[in-house]
Amino acid sequence: MASCVPSRNAYTSPKTTHGTNYARAQCAFPKRTHPGDPVVPYHTIAFSQQKLRAALRRSGGQEPALTYGFVVHSRRQHERPTLGLITLNGESLPLNRRLLAALDGVPLWLFGHARVTLDQGTPVDGIPDDKLDDAPLATLLMHIATFDVAAGVAQNLVQVEASIRADTLVQPLIVLTPSRPESWPR
């Protein structure tokens, strides 16, 4: 049986059975039962949601309208750095190949300004081949299309390729899109 931490709102009801009092508690917050379980601190999720909302407000007049977003950040799973996602509604999940594949063909904008594609994610080491699609990613390849403003009035489109690594990612990446990918959580 998993142990739990009762919340302030936990309902307790004394029950007497054969002279012994038992308290039944409905626990709102289960304790972590395994060391190394992935946990993203609440303040990280709240801060990411705040940043996402601000980025969506700033990009409100853009064409196409950007109405959904997510944050790519570094998290830990079993003491290994992995890439994770935080959605606008606060879901926090490990980024994996299945989620990455759902972004194929979806227009993505880094911080609402530069067009990007995300692909070629590399899972963490030690994952069996039959579980690779759902394994957390350690790295990710990002292609960025932006304009070189140093050229003056005649701007040139510049393509940049960046490797995003969980063990070196310090600044979370805010990615905006016109709609939520179909297989993603709301």
Domain boundaries, the chain: 1-31, 36-177
Nearest to 176 by CA among 107, 89, 125: 107
Q: Quote the tokens at residue 113.
A: 């300004």
Residue 18 has pLDDT above 60, yes or no: no
* Phi/psi of residue 49, nearest 5 degrees: -60, -40
The Cα 75–Cα 138 span in angstroms is 10
- The least confident of 20-24, 107-111, 119-123 is 20-24
Burial class (CB in 10 A: 0-12, 13-18, 19+), 63: exposed
Averaged pLDDT score across all residues of the chain: 78
DSSP state of 79: T
Mean pLDDT on 96-112: 92
- pLDDT tens for residues 23-64? 333 333 334 444 455 567 888 888 888 999 999 898 877 777
pLDDT at 61 (0 to 100): 79
